[in-house]
Amino acid sequence: MCSILCTVTTCTVYNVLCVSTVPRRLCSQLPDMWNSSTSPEETLLGLVRDICVYCLQHSAEAEACDLLMEIERVEFFIELVSEDIYERVCLYLTR
C-alpha cells in the first residue's frame, strides 16, 4: 500500500500528468492487496471507490469495471455510473 500512496503523493506534489498511468497502476495493484488484506473493506474500500470515480470521470471505464469485478463489488456500479457513461460501461461489460 505504501507504493500506491507514494505514487499518488508524488503525482500530486509534482503535478505530473498521470491521468492514465497512476489509475492503471492502482487498478492493477489493488486486487492483490484486497485479496491479501485481512479486512479489505475497512482499509481499502474508500480507495477503491475514489479510484473508480476518478476512472469513470476520465473515460477509463475499462479500468473501473475490471477493478470492481476483480474485487467482486459490482454492486458499486449502481452508485458510481451516471447517465452520461452508462452506455460505455454496458458496452465494455458485454464484450
DSSP letter assigned to residue 39: S
pLDDT tens-place string over residues 46-95 = 888 999 999 999 888 999 999 999 989 989 988 999 998 999 999 998 98
Contacts of 42 (CB under 8 A, 6+ apart): none
Phi-psi category of residue 72: left, alpha or beta, with phi > 0 → left and psi -120 to 50 → alpha: left
Range of the domain at 81: 2-94
DSSP letter assigned to residue 56: H
What's the domain count of the chain?
1
DSSP letter assigned to residue 19: T
Please say if the pLDDT value at position 11 is more than 80. no
In this predicted structure, what is the pLDDT of residue 21? 67
Against a cut of 0.85, is the pTM above it?
A: no
In this predicted structure, what is the pLDDT of residue 9? 40
Please say if the pLDDT value at position 38 is more than 50. yes
